[in-house]
Amino acid sequence: MSRRANYALCEFQQHLGPAADSLDVPWAEYTGNSTDPVSFNIPTSSSADPYVEMQVFDVEDFNHEIVVNGEPLSGFDIAPGEGWQLWMDTIAPERLHLGENTIQFRRNTDSKDAFVVGSVTVHWTEPVE
């Protein structure tokens, strides 16, 4: 069976942090300890090899979470880095399903870290029909 790559672009532009003034990013919406969930559609019940690429700004802590369909991904999700960074994390294949799915970012509330989630792309492969 042949497979092809597919993806969904999820726009956040949201600032997570302990306070609205924790970063000088007036172009990003301050949302506190978590982003709004963003929905994306998977057009197949046979998705495989899923992963997420995220554009993040000024992350200082390893312990923030990515949540897919209400469940956090395992391990460290976002690596620290100054300025804009592009990171990738895998998603367990059973986490995605046919139809509407959601992705959300949660800040580690034990940290004083503040960061921005920019654009996020969820990738998967699907059968060629």
pLDDT surpasses 80 at 1: no
| Angle CA 64–77–3, to nearest 5 | 145
By residue range, what is the domain housing residue 109? 3-127
| CATH at 80 | 2.60.120.1200
Contacts of 21 (CB under 8 A, 6+ apart): none
Residues across the chain: 129
Tell me which residue of 55, 43, 51, 77 sits closest to 11, measured CA to CA.
Answer: 55
Other C-beta atoms within 10 Å of 23: how many?
A: 18
Q: pLDDT tens digits for 56-90?
A: 999 999 899 999 999 999 887 899 999 999 999 99
Query: Does residue 93 sit in helix, strand or coil?
Result: helix
Encoded tokens for 110: 């034990």
Global confidence as pTM: 0.94
Question: How many domains would you assign to the chain?
Answer: 1
